Structure 1
Amino acid sequence: MGEDRIFVVFVVVAVVVLLARALAGRLRVPDAILLVLLGMAAGFVPQLPQVVVSPELVLLGFLPPLVYHAAFFTAPREARADVVPIVTLAFGLTAVTTLAVAVTARGLLPGLGWAAALAFGAAVAPTDAVAATAVLQRLGAPARLVTILEGESLINDGVALTIFGLAAEALGSGFTLSHGAWRLVQVVAGGVAYGLVAGMVIRRVRRSIKDPISQVIVSLVTPYVAYVPAENLGASGVLATVVTGFSIGTHGEGVLQPASRLVGDTFWRILVFLLESALFVLLGLEIREVLHEPGGHTWGEVALTTLAVSGVVIGVRLLWQLGNGPLAALLPGGRRSQEGLGPRQRVVIGFGGMRGAISLAIALSLPAAVGPERGVLVLLTALVVLITLVGQAPLLPLLLRRLGLIESGRRRREAMIARKAGLQAALARLDEMTEEDEVEEQTAEAFRQMLEVRLERVRYFLDREDAEGERRPPNSRWVRSELVKAQRAKLTALYHKGRIGAGTLREISRELDFEDPAAITKGRS
């Protein structure tokens, strides 16, 4: 891509991001739905240049940070408790979906080889839990459903990309069954082993770094340190990146200081959102050319294949969820793991299998060896992502309500209980330090008053909820917001009068950001 095209792509990505964020808040829909719609719509703007994305750029530039971010923020305790449902979905369902899609595509697209069909199946097999979990968490669905969907999404990315890598190798050379089995062992075992070593080394390095900015730089380099060497060694770079992220995220006690967590969390939220947005825009710009001539196929064949593949990925998932009990029972702890997962919960998990950014990244990284079919496979992947996101995500709230699986306010109450316990522990520790003369009484009293005010606010929320059976936050949110506004107004007035400088203005403004409920909510969205 020339410099002018790169500039245009950057501008289009920025416009799509801003529009998606603005509309998502107004329409109360997940960002992913608007990103796919706006990104594909961008491809129809005639003034925009033709863009052909290099597969190597997608594999190296987009996939490592995306899978690392998902692995780093995995919830280990919850994932261990539901390891059997997650494993059966991530391994069994991903493999079955890949094969079913490959058979379907090969039957409907004359001339499509098995290797290309399996690569396409691997592209649409992995789920993206972002849209589904956003809806589930907003409505207060059972936390277990969110955990299963997130755990599955993390692991099936690695499984699908491993299958995709083997299929891509088969496109360029002969591929026997015995060679494929050996490569599978080499790819999986090598990726996991290298990821464990990389995670251990990087944890030690990060423990010695105290500067938040340096921590962010190391975190940005980490996915590539995991991915590139593993690929050069003939192992799975994606599995290595997943294992590295999981290792650092779950065994990183003492690795990150509070300031580093604040800066790093904000940085990675923005980076992942921009990468996903760029994928949707690049896809839209690339498939525009395919629309004129869809790989030598008629539009009837494309439409039929799109509907058939979409039906397969949705139908196979629902059937798998409703009928995989016997398979799960064969695994250690399988019978116990199925307790609490009745037909209602299984239907929601089955219906929550939307496709997203990872599918687009895999499709865009299809090698040129696929031949003239590459363009139509990219187009089909985009259409399947569009159908699953736009077709399923808006119906998920209706399904949750119909099945009676909404637990309004559960997560907020859980957070309040945790805050209450933490504040009580802080008050107890303050009393200990006062009794042992480690803290002056005047200093201790100032901190005690601050902690007791916070504790009283938490108790007010819990008492009101228990008394009235309501699950809404107390009016103190509005009061806090108004008090912060007053402080901001006074701070600005002092600056304009020359009483304080710009540095002081920025410093106090940052402090007020942490007290402003509106700022905190927007930062977490």
Structure 2
Amino acid sequence: MNRAPGTPARTCGNVPGGVRPPVRRRVPRPFPDRYTSVAHDRIFTLFLAVAVVVLLARALARRLRTPDAILLVVLGVAAGFVPALPAVVVPPDVVLLGFLPPLLYHAAFFSAPRETRADAVPIVALAFGLTTVTTVAVAATVHALLPAVAWPVALAFGAAVSPTDPVAATAVLQRLGAPPRMVTILEGESLINDGAALTIFGLAVEAIGADFTVAHGAGRVVQIVLGGVAYGLVLGIVIRRVRRWITDPVSQIIVSLVTPYLAFVPADRFGASGVLATVVAGFSIGTHGEGFLQPASRLVGATFWRILTFLLESALFVLLGLEIRQIVRQPGGETWAKVAVVAVAVSAVVIGVRLLWELGNGPLARTVPGGRRSQTGLGWRQRLVIGLGGMRGAITLAIALSLPDTVGDERGTLVVLAALVVLVTLLGQAPVLPVLLRRLGLAEPARRRAEAMLARKAGLQAALARLDELAEDEDVDEQTAEAFRQMLELRLERVRYLLDRKDADRDRPAPNSRRVRTELVRAQRAKLRTLYRKGRIGAETYREIVRELDFEDPTAIKG
């Protein structure tokens, strides 16, 4: 502010020099710099650790021919003991609300509808019957070995360790060409048993420290199951109608990404099963997807979801490994010797009950309507593999971490037990599956390739027949028809050649064919780069043709 000439400056007696300094207003900061810096450093370090572990696990999995899930957990546990890495504690809600809905939706959307309906009896028996039996057996074991654990708490823990995680098992089965029916049963079981386990867990938690009647429990089961299924069906119908009018692939992806959360969160909020709602909605939309999704949307959507689920599953397994360091430091009020004994006992019960159920329920299942037909082709060899395919994963740890603090000192012990059961089943059962499949004669790597070739042959023959009809009706001129006929006949000739080869050679490409195709694609890429550098084509044209060549390149990564 300007003073008039001759006006003395304002002074302040207690300020050196007598002149009041200008007032500086301090702008409040939401977080102190040092705390913000520390938080950012922890997040960056954790993100970098997850990325390094995932990349290293992928590289080792290809060399060792081992499922990614096993190496992700092993390397995650090893990384968890690196002093420079921050402690990791993943809130259960992050797993149950952040990771679980899209993973369930993807599995349900891309499930095999005909095969799932055909195997409904064994899937439902495993998902509901085995989950309930495992819960009770584990609860009885824990209550007997740890008398301080009350029955409701023991049942909640039994529900936590009962759901399976099929990622490692199905990866082994698909890589070795096992009968697809076993994969369908394992995946179908895991879709439903999460909902069954969470239902039992919720009822057991309600019974902790409160009066709980059988009538109340039965009413809650009806509300949870029927409410989740009904809401999932309604949402599936609504989403199908909405997506029918969307032609933009990007918009289709956005709707598909929002759908699992629209299914899970409202159902869970209103007391129904979010898991069942998500599974039913995904299955309903997926079985009708070919009718309302455009080819471009299906192609882009499948690629997007394949990458998303890989990232979610990888991050989940790595975080599981990193978090185990924090969990094992707090064994509760029990000694490590006692915890180890109980962990071995619970793991034995989890594995043993599943094997006994799978090997012994065949005759019982035949008494159920439709059971005799559903059991055809499921001999003791297939049942043994399915029995050993029930590894536990991150969902078990997430449910165990959801145990309320009212449980008391036993909560820490039970969380540690859940983590140890996950490690024992994942690291103990998954490596046995490849050996077992080969010994039992269930590994048929050439079967899937031969099936695909037969399907391609039938499709090409149908295309040639349709082309002849179009030519006869004069809907296409003879020159165009001849060009397409030559292209289709060349493809058909190649398929016939591959089918005529010996069975032992069907899982390998034709001699030198891969190298020739690679060289042809490289020649086209080189010519494209030359045309672009000389200004003969623009950037958009260059990228468009490069994308087309990516689909033809035999070295491209197949999902």
Partner Cα distance (2:310, 2:121) in 1: 30
Match in the other structure for 1:147: 184
Decide whether aligned partners of structure 1 residues 6 and 371 sit closer, same or farther in structure 2, where only a CA change above 3 A counts: farther
Match of 1:441 among 478, 495, 506: 478
Decide whether aligned partners of structure 1 residues 213 and 82 sit closer, same or farther in structure 2, where only a CA change above 3 A counts: same
AA aligned to 2:487 is M
Match in the other structure for 1:266: 303
Q: Assess if the C-alpha contact under 8 Å between 1:141 and 1:406 holds in 2.
A: yes
- Report whether the alignment pairs 1:473 with 2:509: yes
- Report whether the alignment pairs 1:424 with 2:461: yes
Q: Over aligned residue pairs, what C-alpha RMSD do you find?
A: 2.1
Decide whether aligned partners of structure 1 residues 381 and 498 sit closer, same or farther in structure 2, where only a CA change above 3 A counts: farther
- Give SS of 1:451's match: helix
Offset of residue 331 of structure 1? 1.2
Match in the other structure for 1:360: 397
Q: Assess if the C-alpha contact under 8 Å between 1:44 and 1:288 holds in 2.
A: yes
- Give SS of 1:405's match: coil
Match in the other structure for 2:8: none
Partner Cα distance (1:365, 1:277) in 2: 22
Q: Assess if the C-alpha contact under 8 Å between 1:128 and 1:153 holds in 2.
A: yes
Match in the other structure for 2:325: 288
Match in the other structure for 1:102: 139
AA aligned to 1:243 is V
Offset of residue 178 of structure 1? 1.9
Q: Assess if the C-alpha contact under 8 Å between 2:74 and 2:321 holds in 1.
A: no
Residue deviations 1:88-110, cap 9 Å, x none? 11111111111111222233335
Partner Cα distance (1:76, 1:26) in 2: 34
Decide whether aligned partners of structure 1 residues 254 and 331 sit closer, same or farther in structure 2, where only a CA change above 3 A counts: same
- Report whether the alignment pairs 1:410 with 2:447: yes
Match of 2:195 among 152, 158, 164: 158
Question: How many residues are aligned here?
Answer: 521
AA aligned to 2:175 is R
Decide whether aligned partners of structure 1 residues 403 and 283 sit closer, same or farther in structure 2, where only a CA change above 3 A counts: closer
- Give SS of 1:52's match: coil
Decide whether aligned partners of structure 1 residues 442 and 368 sit closer, same or farther in structure 2, where only a CA change above 3 A counts: farther
Decide whether aligned partners of structure 1 residues 222 and 443 sit closer, same or farther in structure 2, where only a CA change above 3 A counts: same
Q: Assess if the C-alpha contact under 8 Å between 1:279 and 1:361 holds in 2.
A: no
Partner Cα distance (1:146, 1:186) in 2: 31
The correspondence of residues 231-250 of structure 1 with structure 2, limited to 5 A, is 231-250=268-287
Partner Cα distance (1:11, 1:173) in 2: 45
The correspondence of residues 270-349 of structure 1 with structure 2, limited to 5 A, is 270-349=307-386
Partner Cα distance (2:260, 2:295) in 1: 22
- Give SS of 1:523's match: coil
- Give SS of 2:90's match: coil
- Give SS of 1:254's match: helix
Match of 1:49 among 86, 96, 101: 86
- Report whether the alignment pairs 1:60 with 2:97: yes
The correspondence of residues 129-148 of structure 1 with structure 2, limited to 5 A, is 129-148=166-185
Decide whether aligned partners of structure 1 residues 228 and 436 sit closer, same or farther in structure 2, where only a CA change above 3 A counts: same
AA aligned to 1:208 is W
Match of 2:126 among 78, 82, 89: 89
Match in the other structure for 1:197: 234
Q: Assess if the C-alpha contact under 8 Å between 2:76 and 2:321 holds in 1.
A: yes
Offset of residue 226 of structure 1? 0.5
Partner Cα distance (1:172, 1:480) in 2: 69
AA aligned to 1:19 is L
Match of 1:27 among 64, 86, 105: 64
Offset of residue 360 of structure 1? 3.4
Offset of residue 189 of structure 1? 0.7
Offset of residue 292 of structure 1? 2.7
Task: Write 1 or 2 for the structure with the bigger share of helix.
Answer: 1
- Report whether the alignment pairs 1:115 with 2:152: yes
Residue deviations 1:376-406, cap 9 Å, x none? 3333223222222221122112112222222
Decide whether aligned partners of structure 1 residues 346 and 285 sit closer, same or farther in structure 2, where only a CA change above 3 A counts: closer
Offset of residue 228 of structure 1? 1.2
Q: Assess if the C-alpha contact under 8 Å between 1:43 and 1:281 holds in 2.
A: no
Decide whether aligned partners of structure 1 residues 26 and 289 sit closer, same or farther in structure 2, where only a CA change above 3 A counts: same
Offset of residue 371 of structure 1? 4.0
Partner Cα distance (1:381, 1:324) in 2: 27
Identical-pair percentage = 76
Q: Assess if the C-alpha contact under 8 Å between 1:101 and 1:121 holds in 2.
A: yes
Partner Cα distance (1:66, 1:261) in 2: 18
Q: TM-score, normalised by structure 2?
A: 0.88
Q: Assess if the C-alpha contact under 8 Å between 1:115 and 1:171 holds in 2.
A: yes
Q: Assess if the C-alpha contact under 8 Å between 2:498 and 2:506 holds in 1.
A: no
Residue deviations 1:233-286, cap 9 Å, x none? 211111111111111111333232111112111221222222222223333343
Offset of residue 6 of structure 1? 3.2
- Give SS of 1:507's match: helix
Offset of residue 153 of structure 1? 1.8
Match in the other structure for 1:228: 265
Partner Cα distance (1:2, 1:120) in 2: 33
Q: Between Structure 1 and Structure 2, whose CA radius of gyration is higher?
A: 2
Decide whether aligned partners of structure 1 residues 430 and 132 sit closer, same or farther in structure 2, where only a CA change above 3 A counts: same
Match in the other structure for 1:454: 491
Partner Cα distance (1:13, 1:378) in 2: 23
The correspondence of residues 390-409 of structure 1 with structure 2, limited to 5 A, is 390-409=427-446
AA aligned to 1:354 is M
AA aligned to 2:117 is R
- Report whether the alignment pairs 1:80 with 2:117: yes
